[in-house]
C-alpha cells in the first residue's frame, strides 16, 4: 500500500476490513478445503494504492482473476485521452515470487491460493519443489461467467458461503483443464529470470499505444542476451514477444472500438499508432475474424 503502510483484519464473517479513508466495499477470504483458499477483493478506492504480495507463500501457487474495468478514459482539456493500464485478466504465478501492482479505482478480483501438492495432484506430469508455473492470459468465457454470477451475490446472503465454495471449485477445475492444455510447467527456471521476463511483459502492456519496443531493448531490460530472452519469453508466454505485443494491442483496439469515444475508425487506428488504416483493418480481421467497422460504436459527442 502507499507510503509503506500495512492493512489487515478479517472479521468473524471472513470479511476483510479496510479503513474507510482508503476504500469502501467488502472483501472476503475463505479456506475452501485443505490446501485451497480463495480471496475476493471488491473495493471502490478513495485513493490510489499499490498492493504488494510479499514472499511468504513458497508452497503455494496464486491464480488471480481480474474483473475490474480494462481501461480508464481520462478527459483532458485537449479532448479524450486514453490511459490503458495492463490488465491481463488472469495470472497464475508461484507464491514465492514477489509482485505488486497499482490498483484501479474500482477493484473486483478473485484469487485462488493453491498448495503445490494439491495442484500437482491434478496436473499432467510432475512438479517438484524447484518447478515454476507462470501463466497469463485473458479470462476464458466459462470462468468469467462463473465469477460474474458470484459477483452478483450479496455478501450477507445466508447462501453466500456455499456459493463461494462452489465457485472456487469450479474455477479451479477450469484452471486445471487450461493449464493441462497449454502445459505451462516451466521446469527449473530461476526466480530472477522469471521475474525479469515478467517485468518486460509489464513494460509492453504499458506501451500498447506505441510501437513494439524491440527485442534488443527488452532483452537489455531483462539483463539477458537476445537469444536467451526470446527463448525464455516464449517458454513462459507461449509466443514471441512481438506476437504477444500485437495480440494485446489488438485486444485493446477492440475495447476502444466499442467504447463510443471516437468519431471514426481512423481515430482508433491513430490512437494505437497505426498510420495505415488498411493495415489496421487487416490485422484486426485476422485476429478476430471481423472488420473493425463491424464492432465500431461511433461517438455521438
Which CATH number does the domain housing residue 275 bear? 1.10.10.60
Query: Which of 147, 182, 217 is the last residue before a domain boundary?
Result: 182
For residue 74, name the pLDDT band (cuts at 50, 70, 90): very low
Residue 113 and residue 156 in one domain? yes
Q: Is the pLDDT of residue 58 over 80?
A: no
Quick check: 83 pLDDT over 90?
Answer: no
DSSP labels for 96-143? Answer: TS-EEEEPPSEEEEEEEEEEHHHHHHHSSS---TT--B-EEEPPPHHH
pLDDT tens-digit map of 226-283: 999 999 888 877 789 999 899 888 888 888 898 888 899 999 998 888 878 789 999 9
Our count of domains for the chain comes to 2
User: Has residue 299 been placed in a domain?
Assistant: no
Tracing cell 450479496 back to the chain, one arrives at: 154
Residue 95 shares a structural domain with residue 220: no
pLDDT at residue 28, rounded to an integer: 87
Query: 177 and 226 in one domain?
Result: no
> Does the pLDDT value for residue 284 go beyond 60?
yes
Per-residue cell: 128: 517438484
Residues 274 and 134 in one domain: no
Q: What pLDDT was estimated at residue 237? A: 78
Residue 68: per-residue pLDDT: 73
Cβ-contact 96, 191 below 8 angstroms: yes
Q: Rounded to an integer, what is the distance from CA 173 to the centroid of its chain? A: 19
* 158 part of a folded domain: yes
**Same domain as 113, residue 22:** yes
Residue 198 has pLDDT above 90, yes or no: no
pLDDT per residue over 92-130, tens digit each? Answer: 777 766 555 555 567 788 999 999 888 888 876 645 545
Q: Answer yes or no: do 221 and 90 share one domain.
A: no
pTM above 0.85, yes or no: no
pLDDT at 113: 92
| Chain centroid to CA 16 | 22
The pLDDT of residue 57 is above 60? no
Distance from C-alpha of 263 to C-alpha of 171, rounded to nearest angstrom: 39
- The grid coordinates listed for 2 are 502507499
The H or E element that residue 61 is part of is strand 60-66
Tell me the C-alpha distance between 246 and 34, whole Å: 41
> Bigger pLDDT: 135 or 211?
211
Specify whether 157 is located in the same domain as 247: no
Question: What is the share, in percent, of the chain residues with pLDDT greater than 70?
Answer: 69
The per-residue pLDDT for 100 is 53
Task: List the end-to-end C-alpha distance of the chain, in Å, as a whole number.
Answer: 38
**Which residue segment(s) compose the domain that 269 sits in?**
191-294
Looking at the fold, whether 286 and 195 belong to one and the same domain comes out as yes
Would 301 be classed as within a structural domain?
no
Amino acid at each position: 500500500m502507499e507510503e509503506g503502510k500495512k492493512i489487515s483484519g478479517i472479521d468473524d464473517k471472513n470479511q476483510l476490513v479496510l479503513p474507510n479513508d482508503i476504500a469502501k466495499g467488502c472483501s472476503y477470504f475463505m479456506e475452501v478445503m485443505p490446501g485451497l483458499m480463495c480471496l475476493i477483493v471488491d473495493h471502490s478506492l478513495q485513493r490510489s494504492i499499490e498492493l504488494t504480495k510479499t514472499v511468504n507463500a513458497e508452497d503455494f501457487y496464486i491464480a488471480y482473476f481480474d474483473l475490474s474495468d480494462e481501461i480508464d478514459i481520462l478527459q483532458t482539456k485537449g479532448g479524450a485521452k486514453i490511459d490503458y493500464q495492463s490488465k491481463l485478466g488472469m495470472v497464475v504465478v508461484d507464491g514465492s515470487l514477489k509482485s505488486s501492482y497499482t490498483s484501479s479505482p474500482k477493484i473486483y478480483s478473485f484469487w485462488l491460493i493453491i498448495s503445490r501438492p494439491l495442484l500437482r495432484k491434478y496436473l499432467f506430469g510432475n512438479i517438484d519443489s524447484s518447478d515454476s508455473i507462470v501463466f497469463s492470459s485473458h479470462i476464458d468465457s466459462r470462468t468469467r461467467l462463473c465469477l460474474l454470477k458470484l459477483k452478483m451475490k450479496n455478501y450477507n446472503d445466508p447462501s453466500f458461503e456455499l456459493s463461494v465454495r462452489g465457485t472456487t471449485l469450479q474455477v479451479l477445475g477450469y484452471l486445471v483443464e487450461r493449464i493441462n492444455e497449454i502445459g505451462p510447467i516451466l521446469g527449473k527456471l530461476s526466480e530472477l529470470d522469471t521475474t525479469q521476463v515478467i517485468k518486460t511483459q509489464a513494460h509492453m502492456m504499458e506501451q500498447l499505444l506505441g510501437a513494439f519496443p524491440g527485442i534488443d531493448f527488452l532483452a537489455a531490460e531483462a539483463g539477458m542476451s537476445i537469444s536467451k530472452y526470446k527463448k525464455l519469453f516464449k517458454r513462459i508466454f507461449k509466443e514471441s514477444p512481438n506476437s504477444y505485443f500485437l495480440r494485446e494491442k489488438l485486444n485493446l483496439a477492440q475495447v476502444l472500438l466499442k467504447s463510443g469515444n471516437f468519431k471514426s475508425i481512423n481515430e482508433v487506428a491513430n490512437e494505437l499508432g497505426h498510420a495505415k488504416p488498411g493495415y489496421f483493418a487487416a490485422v484486426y480481421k485476422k485476429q478476430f475474424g471481423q472488420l473493425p467497422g463491424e464492432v465500431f460504436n461511433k461517438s455521438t459527442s
